[in-house]
Chains A and B, each alone.
Chain A
């Protein structure tokens, strides 16, 4: 992998480890209101300042990282599983079932993704699970299409023919011969998509559809403090930097993964964040 990919991976691991260790790294409670230190600018006590309720911003960013990155990772895993499942069924059995499943995929890909995610998350009571559900409901379709294409070409290869010739059942062919071939592709693609998932999660929580307050998420930290941008710009500055850096690192990592494992050039659309 190229250098930027490695640096990005290191930065991401650093952010993640710090967020996991956050209760031990900072003396502050992320949700405790402190009326004695409202909207303090960055100082020795509060490196990134405090917010509208006197909460330490650095602490909230670290706790928020756990939520934001965690949600993105879980939602991506769900999307990959669902995409693998649907894609393999579609590509392996072909025929009517393939047509039907791909029609659903087309339907989902025809929506503007954020609008679809908003529509789904309004359906459920607000919470972390709702965010995960709406993100993965939007995300699985492109994985399914990718996997299906791959399975269609795998099906024609001679080792599948051999497996069928020695009498493997459908189940064995799928799980032992086809599935392992699809997983690396999905991981690469998931890496490319993660940046976009982080952004969508941040947008949802900015719109008030993310994890409910007082839970810290990067998006909600920006939306709840944006009324004070003229007097206290540091309150929205650092969460935005975190979203950007994390997304950028995931995008670099995805680029690196793609260059290493996926030699196809026609990935224009997968380069776009969803």
Chain B
């Protein structure tokens, strides 16, 4: 157990090195002076001098990478070319919005996915089962940037129920969260269906029926209790898809998170912002994955999620 946790923790290090190497390469690939490409030409001379010294721009590439890492460790992500604001400060403001959106979407995806998954496995009517299964495959095939626009047309422009874009209280959260949850809900529904069908075929379910228990009791007490563990595991491990989707969803709904921040930076080729967002997003993704892995290990010893299973 301890070895497992240790192994998962140790693996973070090469992953983080990989991420920083990628953003460093990005920095080097940008045409022009890498120091300017990190802070922008409008930065004050002291900062430029400080970073130039720190990066060792005239020395070898390993030295430069070293300097880059030590800058990162002090939270120096550079400044935006356009606003001249510190990237880290902006990310600190926008990240909570993204997390709020992701958590809300995750909860929504969990509820929708499990509900439809169970229905598509156990509903007595065969054509309803097939329709839901088909819908869940369709949910995986719709691009979120399009389903978001369609929801916006329907709920905001036709029905005028919800605001089309903006950041703020729950009214603003519903549409982007729903959009973001659709593909995840479809995945969860499919996995729930497979698991429930497997468990429903087991002998102890037959025994429960033979005892004369009613179907609702069997479904919720006997099947669901056993099916939930793998399903909940997948919900947690699927966090990456929310980060992927957040870039697109936030852009469409004008939700002020790091996804939209990055998208706007890509359009303007604002490299320090792109790199800062990529670094934050991927680091977060890896930390959460490792944390979820370890947490499930403690919750349920049967879950032995080796790296090779993913």
A208 and B266 contact, CB distance less than 8 A: yes
Whole-angstrom distance between the Cβ of B303 and the nearest chain A Cβ: 13
Q: Could you tell me which residues of chain B, from 94 to 122, have a CB within 8 Å of some CB in chain A?
A: none
29 contacts between A and B (CB under 8 A): A103-B14, A106-B11, A109-B310, A110-B18, A111-B282, A112-B241, A113-B244, A118-B247, A118-B262, A118-B266, A119-B23, A199-B143, A202-B143, A203-B143, A206-B143, A206-B145, A207-B251, A207-B266, A219-B143, A222-B149, A236-B146, A239-B146, A240-B143, A240-B149, A244-B143, A248-B138, A268-B191, A271-B191, A273-B183
Contact of A272 among B140, B252, B286 (CB under 8 A): B140
Binary A-proximity of B121-145 (CB < 8 A = 1, otherwise 0): 0000000000000000110111101
Q: Roughly how many angstroms separate A226 CA and B19 CA in the complex, as a whole number?
A: 33
Whole-angstrom distance between the Cβ of A229 and the nearest chain B Cβ: 6
Which residues from chain A contact B22 at a C-beta distance below 8 Å? 119
B15 and A226 contact, CB distance less than 8 A: no
A209 interfacial contact with B, CB 8 Å:
yes
Q: Roughly how many angstroms separate A31 CA and B243 CA in the complex, as a whole number?
A: 34
Whole-angstrom distance between the Cβ of B140 and the nearest chain A Cβ: 5
In the complex, what residue of chain B is closest to A223 when comparing beta carbons? B145
Whole-angstrom distance between the Cβ of A33 and the nearest chain B Cβ: 22
Contact of B141 among A145, A195, A271 (CB under 8 A): A195
B282 and A122 contact, CB distance less than 8 A: no
The count of residues in chain B whose C-beta lies closer than 8 Å to any C-beta of chain A is 56
Q: Roughly how many angstroms separate A199 CA and B243 CA in the complex, as a whole number?
A: 15
Whole-angstrom distance between the Cβ of A27 and the nearest chain B Cβ: 28
The residues of B with any CB-CB pair to A shorter than 8 Å are: 11, 14-15, 18-19, 22-23, 25-26, 29, 137-138, 140-143, 145-147, 149-150, 152-153, 157, 183, 187, 190-191, 194, 234, 238, 240-241, 243-244, 247-248, 251-252, 262-263, 266-267, 269, 271, 274, 278, 281-282, 285-286, 289, 307-310
A208 and B267 contact, CB distance less than 8 A: yes
Whole-angstrom distance between the Cβ of A83 and the nearest chain B Cβ: 16
B263 and A207 contact, CB distance less than 8 A: yes
Residue in B146, B183, B285, B286 with the greatest tally of chain A CB atoms within 10 Å: B146
A113 and B143 contact, CB distance less than 8 A: no
Q: Roughly how many angstroms separate A30 CA and B247 CA in the complex, as a whole number?
A: 29
B140 and A251 contact, CB distance less than 8 A: yes
The count of residues in chain A whose C-beta lies closer than 8 Å to any C-beta of chain B is 48
A115 and B140 contact, CB distance less than 8 A: no
Contact of B278 among A106, A115, A229, A271 (CB under 8 A): A115
B286 and A118 contact, CB distance less than 8 A: no
A247 and B141 contact, CB distance less than 8 A: yes
Q: Please classify the interface of chain B as helix (H, G, I), strand (E, B), loop, or mixed, using the class held by over half of its residues.
A: helix
In the complex, what residue of chain B is closest to A268 when comparing beta carbons? B191
Which residues from chain A contact B234 at a C-beta distance below 8 Å? 268
Q: Roughly how many angstroms separate A103 CA and B18 CA in the complex, as a whole number?
A: 11
B285 and A111 contact, CB distance less than 8 A: yes
In the complex, what residue of chain A is closest to B17 when comparing beta carbons? A107
Since A111-B282, A118-B266 are in contact, a sample of 10 more A-B pairs with Cβ atoms closer than 8 Å, ordered by chain A residue number, is A103-B14, A107-B15, A107-B18, A115-B243, A203-B145, A222-B146, A237-B150, A244-B146, A247-B140, A268-B194
Q: Roughly how many angstroms separate A239 CA and B147 CA in the complex, as a whole number?
A: 12
Which residues from chain A contact B190 at a C-beta distance below 8 Å? 271
Which residues from chain A contact B146 at a C-beta distance below 8 Å? 222, 236, 239-240, 243-244
A112 and B153 contact, CB distance less than 8 A: no
Q: Roughly how many angstroms separate A122 CA and B23 CA in the complex, as a whole number?
A: 10
B266 and A110 contact, CB distance less than 8 A: no
Q: Roughly how many angstroms separate A235 CA and B307 CA in the complex, as a whole number?
A: 44
B240 and A113 contact, CB distance less than 8 A: yes
A233 interfacial contact with B, CB 8 Å:
yes
Contact of B286 among A110, A114, A195 (CB under 8 A): A110
Whole-angstrom distance between the Cβ of A259 and the nearest chain B Cβ: 13
Which residues from chain B contact A207 at a C-beta distance below 8 Å? 247-248, 251, 263, 266
Q: Roughly how many angstroms separate A272 CA and B309 CA in the complex, as a whole number?
A: 14
Which residues from chain A contact B18 at a C-beta distance below 8 Å? 107, 110
Which residues from chain B contact A233 at a C-beta distance below 8 Å? 153
B15 and A209 contact, CB distance less than 8 A: no
Which residues from chain A contact B152 at a C-beta distance below 8 Å? 229
A244 and B149 contact, CB distance less than 8 A: no
In the complex, what residue of chain B is closest to A239 when comparing beta carbons? B146
Q: Could you tell me which residues of chain A, from 130 to 181, have a CB within 8 Å of some CB in chain B?
A: 145
Contact of A112 among B142, B240, B252, B307 (CB under 8 A): B240
